[in-house]
Amino acid sequence: MLIDILLCIADYLNHEDLLTLSLIYPVLYYDESFWKARCRNDYNVTYNDPSLTYRELYKACVVKPMGRLPCTHLDTNVQYVHVDVCSQCQNGNLEYLFICTDCGQVLCDRHTRHHARLGKKKHQVYYKPNMSEFFCQACLDWIGGMDSYTAEIYYASSLSLHWVNILCLNDQKTLELKQVRQKERSIRWKDTPRHVLKDGLCLLPLQWITLWEDFIEGWKTERPKEAIDCTALYGHRRQDNRR
């Protein structure tokens, strides 16, 4: 059969050529079981958004628009956990606490990194309860943000709801702040603050940018309440122009 011949040929093609071959032969293009297996075998990605075909996911993995693959460590085995203090140092500040999604240990940011190094392939993804978001120590990135892969966004969102239920969080407020934070983080990834942080002399005060960074990274649960006051900055610019 044609499909059997194509499957044999596929084993000898690189990923880009495989996508091209599927454009010529619809029987391969629409074979979801084939693309699902290739996502798993070639990229170790085992989840997808129901609205997305596995060929679309495979193509996204080939192109890598984010510069990294969808997180392959995202999962959870935890059914119950009590967030109190870091199990290693007794730090009880919620804004600095993470939960290992593999074993349920509650850890501060410093001990999270140590825990991940010991875990090798496991213990890489951590849920931050004050943000209801996941950070992967292996990918070194927040998982499921606005600019992430569609499949990753879907899977991270479903796991986030699971954790909201486990911890009985104020899900409405947490969700609202999460949306704000992800939008602000998307702006930051576009390098807007990089120039701001160089010298602090710009349209946004360095002090406000620092508060903003603390919010989008989850070190502060609430967004900055202070209005942006650029009066002093404009004053500095006028003085510079007079020199």
- pLDDT tens digits for range 66-87: 778 999 998 877 777 888 899 9
* Residue 158 resides in a domain: yes
Per the structure, the complete domain to which residue 51 belongs is given by 2-63
* Residue 233 resides in a domain: yes
* Residue 98 resides in a domain: yes
Residues 195 and 166 both lie in one domain:
no
Picking from 170, 203, 219, the residue at the C-terminal end of a domain is: 170
* Residue 199 resides in a domain: yes
Is residue 137 a contact partner of residue 147, using CB atoms and an 8 Å limit?
no
Residues 102 and 137 both lie in one domain:
yes
Task: Mark the ranges of the chain whose per-residue pLDDT is less than 70.
Answer: 120, 170, 189-205, 227-243
* Residue 165 resides in a domain: yes
Q: What is the pTM of this model?
A: 0.76
CATH number at 144 reads: 3.30.40
Q: How many domains does the chain have?
A: 3
| Alpha-carbon gap, residue 13 to 77, rounded angstroms | 36
pLDDT at 219: 85
pLDDT at 238: 46
| Alpha-carbon gap, residue 219 to 94, rounded angstroms | 9
